[in-house]
Amino acid sequence: MRNLRIGINSYTLRWMCEKGMIDTCGVIEFALANDLDIVQLCDNLPLFSLDAFQLDTIKGHCAGKIDIETGFKVSDFKGLIDCIELTRALGAHKMRLVLYNVVFANNFLFDKTNLCVLAGLLEMYDIEIMFENHFEYSPVDTLNLVRFALSCSTRFSICFDCFNSLIWNYSTFETLDLLRPYISEVHIKDVVIARHGLGLKVTGCDLGEGVLDIGRLFKEFEGKKFPSLVLEGWSEKNDIVVEQEKESAYAGIHVLKEMRKHV
């Protein structure tokens, strides 16, 4: 089923990016070489250092070949606007958003004036914001945030991360059940969970080799509009991992392409 769109997030190659072994154009070329539909360029890349010519070149190079999305952490309204402007300059129409160091009760998006300004920009630039269920907010907080935003504009949805909400004692499918009506994209990854002292240790692994029930994940969306699936591999940093990041990404992409055949 080709209309199930799959892609890769630049954090899948985070340690290569950090070491300067791959840059923004390299991430894009990796996605193109693997015949992906989406490349999500995030704030582990020096996107704000790109000049107008570089931004136009990237936009033109990707046009008609692959959809660019962006992903940012922001802590204030001005920073959010800056990220939207950069998203527009890249020709992207979706931006994954994590609100960082923003107390939920004092969230600047609960200010109707801010929200209306934001909604106007999103409409003008044809951009959708996807709130991610990240570590800072519980799944219930994320749900309440997207509902409030949707009261002003339809240009908001959720990017569902399969494991981020473990920190709030919500399992993958408990979180999915809660957020499902608003999910437009899934950050798909896999992990191994093992006992560690009096708690648990969560470690990233290749997609299909951990605890994620991929078959069930696909079944959860049967008969519904299927969200995009964006691979966001995660691993602890060490020299071996840096060399293996691409191989791990290839493995994850292969799993997604095989699963797509059966949707």
What's the rounded mean pLDDT across residues 67-86?
Answer: 97
Q: Is residue 11 part of a domain?
A: yes
- Contact status, residue 256 vs residue 246, Cβ threshold 8 Å: no
| Tens digit of each residue's pLDDT (9 = 90 or more) over 24-38 | 999 999 999 999 999
Q: Terminal CA-to-CA distance of the chain, rounded, Å?
A: 6
Residue 125 lies in domain:
6-260
pLDDT at 101: 87
Domain count of the fold of the chain: 1
Q: Is residue 156 part of a domain?
A: yes
Q: Is residue 221 part of a domain?
A: yes
**φ, ψ at 90 (rounded to 5°):** -85, -5
CATH code for position 143: 3.20.20.150
| Tens digit of each residue's pLDDT (9 = 90 or more) over 38-64 | 999 999 999 999 999 999 999 999 999
Alpha carbon of 2 to those of 213, 249, 262: distances in Å?
22, 20, 10
Smallest Cα–Cα separation from 186: which of 40, 59, 33? 40
Judge residue 229's burial from the number of C-beta atoms within 10 Å of its C-beta, 0-12 exposed, 13-18 middle, 19 or more buried. buried
Alpha carbon of 56 to those of 8, 32, 69, 70, 201: distances in Å?
21, 18, 15, 15, 43
* pTM (2 d.p.): 0.93
pLDDT at 242: 76
Q: Is residue 1 part of a domain?
A: no
Helix (H, G, I), strand (E, B) or coil at 224: coil
Q: Is residue 247 part of a domain?
A: yes
